[in-house]
Structure 1
């Protein structure tokens, strides 16, 4: 039993794993493989000092964690924008080719699993992490090591991060649900849920038995592989031993892309794993950089989603729910039916106008689907199946929760409860603030918030940071012990350190979703700066229009909201944007610039956004402090004033030349 023999066994077993789980081409029998594994286990037991993290014996599981630790991604894990038809595919191509010429694409099956980031240092797997909220994920290394298609060691010096999808193959899913049924356990709804549930097991022995697999498809820092195209990165990943989907294909034109989508649509039912669409990526990495990103998604990639599956069921009733803004939403109560892999009993009907337009009645048979394969919605009614017992829906005129009159705002289809003391509305606000995409207070689910609210522990958002004041009372509730209470308090405390965009989204200001919150936080840096911004400052930012500016103004006029901000500050909640806010140095850096006149190649908003990103201070009026005025056609009085003050004037073509656009 020598160290030389141990290394020989490790090398052989890693190679056999690769051949079996990645290439699907085993070269030894199970008996031969097991004999070598037994020999390696015995050597490591006799010499525990020789055991390393890349040993094949570390794949069998057995490590049990008390909880998941958080990992901040070195590069944010962004989601993709969705498109749903050929016209939108072609529109994506038009957006790309308006900036980039001679484009080729790489098309990939969109696997329906759980995104994972794998980080290697000097060839050894350091950790695996979930996507989480895109900035911070969970450390799942103990479970990643049980997935035999993921190499524990690669031949690559220095640092390397690769990303992909952990999936549960259909055969593994069927086997798992059969075992759970025999054991009297609840069944998993679909392969994606089963994969996610397996990866988030604290006991790695459970994950090891679930038959998980993984395909890798992205290198966030391609310089680490020294490649110039995405396709080259995939080839390099294959050389290093990663499992890359063989159905990935280069496409020379958007016509080829659509042909690939049609081919995947036909192949989808017979694939050994679930896919829900096709990912389309610009192949050239320099072009990807030039196209860049929005606040949440890359401009160089898009996800085509397969048309939603439609099924028929019976609509038993229509009930009303209330959201954090007070909006009242009618929802269909349905006979349970399976749609796109899960059982559906509720579906949104959006608003009264939608119900009338589609002529949906209580007692109808209806067609339902999942919008984007996620949110159930009623597509249409089936009048030909009516018996005469169906009832026409009548919208309530008072809040179903507090009984106060509902208001339908001008130019909106929705009704609102405007009672600031409506319990249901307040509960929803607290739930939203604590939610994953907002402040992410782990352990504070919808039912718990409602329970805490009804018991008087959390009546306002601020109360989430005073849970310790009710520790003994909460621990007397069913399901709450010392451990869960400590975790909840620690999670609330940790949320204080979140970056501004999380807080801004959590405040629930109408119209400010996660993307807009990120845009505003990035541009203003602090909540104080945002709340003191003028209408002109707000609307000069790309994607920030009149509606957002008015919504912010209306929100600030509430004393209750301003008191909330003051209280959160006093509690130590961070009010600043914590990510990299460095601007790109350019000829416009630190210049005060005015843009005026009618522009052709770029909108005024786009030029202002470019200037802000490149370090300029864009203002709305010309003064002695103005350094530059960029003019289009019919510039008017601002041009005249710039001439009189001797300020540098640049036309649109000159601006583009200096900017390199």
Structure 2
């Protein structure tokens, strides 16, 4: 024990130290948290209209538990930490008493906490148990009672002792059998409680919401709300029209069922016709549990239903009895929560950004908040119509989401938390950077744009930054700050002179220089050309930019096309155009029909290309880059063309390959006539799997698509499918 852990007064041997006394500030905070948690529970369980995200609710419960652990006098039997759910729900449904208490689960939010729980559980049992791991469904907990094999009652969890009778609505769910299928080997007990989760499958939820939106009706915030709202319809025929499903993951009263492990119960359920999750495994050791958590963390958006974590249980039923339960949760199970993908934060302002093609995009400025593993303080709102559709006001408490994507999104406001001080966002009428009047490009456009394309500082800065991006010239030393610094110093006034930059230019840009040392100023130490200028010399970043620019001159044609910031022309279209036409001059000379006929291009991109080439200053950029040595034609136009070994084939590359980057693998596929896709489907011809491959590799196996390693990929490139036989 370290000396800083020794208390000031050491109690006599055998004495128990007095617990700390809660001060007024602790009591105030405890009362505040109890009120907030109870309000949130009532909204969530009673009204199916949550006012807080799961992450915000979890954080309050953790703080409440910590306060009560520090000051036990604050813990009372009616504290939310000692109860399940929200007490009596607001409902027209009759109450149903559960034959056996329907407990909730305790949560942990880090792998360290999970490891500590597993260690405590192992120590309490005297041996490490077999762990049953399953995904944690974000649905509505339901208890099914079967008497002599027939469904008699379906009820919500309620306060864990009494729930709501939703039998009529549950009977409309196809996954719930009206009668269990008994066999001679597996007879059905006189009474059995099957517990599980009713959920809205993700694909069905998205389709259902789209239908509501088309009908002008309010959409559901998430699948959990949709499932809960559907089960609480007064008219069961309404529930019947909603494609709900269910998974059983627990058992209550079960007199006469001969099973020793929970995993055996699952198999018995399956034999009786009860739905059981396909996503569970019995595992030995902590390492296997962590691997399960990691695997499903990668796949969480590819499953049938939404999940927010993994439940780890002791599989042996006798060991479960030994461990017992608290007043609200079993000691033999724990829920590990993944980092939140939806959180609450305060929207402080809505500002606008002017992009490389002039599009003006509003974005939210928020109190920084951690979501899905990173801290976020800004999120796009797309356009003024989207701000109105979401109903967001400046000052709102908003729901922020980062689900399956790196781009954060403001889902909408928490209307119940408004104070009246919120204000409506007004879209600007003039460009905030150049003052030009904003307008839509066409009358039907939702977006408005700055028409000053050639001289608007914002558009020029964004075009320079985009030209340097990884999908274009890949100029590492030219980021957003560098682009702004070059323009601010006046060494560039458009992107045409980008490849004419010299050391003499860069030494005038503070961002690419550093202060010279005394020895450098005195000439006692050699410095990079052009030497010391106004007390500064070219920095390592400045030297790197010149090296990057020299290397970028030889990038393939498709990257040059991306770097030109032609509206709608991204990497996919650029690769297809480069593969078909081979040179920028050929693309410029092609007819609209020829361009549109190119795979992955179409009429909209064709029109955008032709309009771009008609602008004088656009052509000046091409001429300047060509004069500076930028490659304007691929080598295959002058040398022998690559064999089209992959014509008509769709190939997905996932994981890390030794001899190919992601871009070079795509280039190798496209240049041989194939299509490089980003997701696996039944139309995928081959999936190339490298180190660290995740859900795409699993999807390939699930769909029975051919899987290749890197050696097989090389054979496919060289000889086509026939070379693999």
When normalised by structure 1's length, the TM-score is 0.44
TM-score under structure 2 length normalisation: 0.40
Q: Which has the larger radius of gyration?
A: 2
